[in-house]
Amino acid sequence: MAVDVLSMDRTALEHLMEEGGLPRYRGRQLFHALWKTRVASYDALSVWPATLRSRAAAEWPLVRVVPVERQQARDGTEKIVVGLFDGERVEMVLLPHRFGWSVCVSTQVGCAIGCHFCASGLAGKTRNLSAGEIADQVALGETLLAERGERVRRVDLMGIGEPLDNYAGTVAGLRLMHDPDGLGLSYRHLTVSTSGLAPRIRKLADEGMPVTLAVSLHAPNDAVRGELMPVNRAYPIAPLMDALATYWERTRRRITYEYLLIDGVNDGLTLARELVRLVRRFPCHVNLIPWNPVPEFPYRPSPPAQVTAFRTVLDEAGISCTVRRELGQEIEAACGQLRRGLGAGPTPASGQQPSERPLSRGGA
């Protein structure tokens, strides 16, 4: 796309309007329409005269993400296959919690990191999502939840892709989510999950955006982690922990560790004790997640008794810890089960909707 209005902040839109010989306030109106009213197209921008609406559609195509398939689990979790402007597809998930709804969004089409337990990395990475495509999944979540009288409370960048491998898109997307004139969510309600790209973690610590950082640790030493996550060769545990210490010092946000429990692979109690020694260094929270089955891998989730035993070691050491209740497993909407859309069909020309008839976006 030549001009990507969905990825621009308010100031950039004001400049765009000025460059087009229009008053700056048109940029403000457009930003408001994109993120507060969440218009589906310029046709719905009723404060603009018709001539400006058709000029805008021609010069600055507005292509929002569209839901092409929706699936609901019995626990209320909803998985949405999202169509992008070029026919690619990713997945996002709406999850019900005691505190309200969270939305889990994707940051890339596929993933290049290739962890040996995750469906998202199986087909590699096709491209990064733009800042607008990342934030627009949250806007779509708001629109769909509004139909139930609900709203988005938290956002997890935990869908398909490695957010810090799409650093610019992720950071600009988070700013759109946070901007009070944008989606207006507090940074502390936004979580970035990473496989541990240490230099990018240090960079994020200096962005002045105190988002929660979740780190996919999955093992407390390089031998076991290296088997599960090839990325550990580039960024082993010691430099990763140093980067996390910096993140904690700069943002004062407690680090969250994600720890999958895979039967006989990383769920031994010696490893639990090693984990305690590793994470003691600064305030943290550990999420234990029994591995969600992905048929391409030969593992089994740890049995419940082992999960409890592992958790007890952490509890007794005074480490804050939860066993994650996996929502949406039956529709493959749980962590690590999301896949980039395959068979997306012919690529529609830029500026057009995916070839399938999109479901109603509503809220326009």
**CB 143 to ligand SF4: min, Å:** 26
Distances from the Cα of 178 to the Cα of 130, 160, 172, 287, 339, angstroms: 16, 21, 10, 25, 27
Contact partner at residue 182 from ligand SAH, ligand SF4, none, CB < 5 to 8 Å by partner kind: none
Nearer Cβ to ligand SAH (194/232): 194
Contact partner at residue 292 from ligand SF4, ligand SAH, none, CB < 5 to 8 Å by partner kind: ligand SAH
The residues of the shown chain that bind ligand SAH, judged by CB under 6 A, are: 117-118, 158, 162, 193-195, 216, 258, 260, 289, 291-292, 294, 335-336
Pairing relation of β-strands 78-83 and 66-72?
Answer: antiparallel
Contact partner at residue 291 from ligand SF4, ligand SAH, none, CB < 5 to 8 Å by partner kind: ligand SAH
**CB 265 to ligand SF4: min, Å:** 15
Distances from the Cα of 123 to the Cα of 110, 117, 127, 338, angstroms: 7, 13, 12, 12
- CB–CB of 111/120 below 8 Å? yes
- CB–CB of 158/170 below 8 Å? no
Q: Is 91 a catalytic residue?
A: yes
10: left (phi over 0), alpha (psi -120 to 50) or beta: alpha
Pairing relation of β-strands 108-110 and 125-128?
Answer: antiparallel
Contact partner at residue 260 from ligand SF4, ligand SAH, none, CB < 5 to 8 Å by partner kind: ligand SAH
Distance CA 319, CA 321 (A): 6
The residues of the shown chain that bind ligand SF4, judged by CB under 6 A, are: 111, 113-115, 118, 120-121, 161-162, 195, 216
Nearer Cβ to ligand SAH (293/348): 293
Q: How many CA atoms lie within 13 A of 93 on its CB side?
A: 26
**CB 158 to ligand SF4: min, Å:** 8
Distance CA 79, CA 168 (A): 26
Nearer Cβ to ligand SF4 (39/335): 335
Which residues contact residue 133 at a Cβ distance below 8 angstroms, ignoring those fewer than 6 apart? 6, 7, 65, 84, 169, 173
- Annotated active-site residue in 91, 133, 162, 332: 91
**CB 274 to ligand SAH: min, Å:** 19
Contact partner at residue 294 from ligand SAH, ligand SF4, none, CB < 5 to 8 Å by partner kind: ligand SAH
Q: How many CA atoms lie within 13 A of 92 on its CB side?
A: 30
Distance CA 360, CA 323 (A): 36
Contact partner at residue 114 from ligand SF4, ligand SAH, none, CB < 5 to 8 Å by partner kind: ligand SF4
Nearer Cβ to ligand SF4 (106/302): 106
Nearer Cβ to ligand SAH (63/103): 103
- CB–CB of 324/97 below 8 Å? no
Nearer Cβ to ligand SF4 (102/120): 120
Question: Nearest-CB residue to ligand SAH?
Answer: 336
Distance CA 259, CA 217 (A): 6
Q: Is 321 a catalytic residue?
A: no
Choose among 162, 195, 192: nearest CA to 174. 192
**CB 239 to ligand SAH: min, Å:** 17
**CB 216 to ligand SAH: min, Å:** 4
**Catalytic residue list:** 91, 335
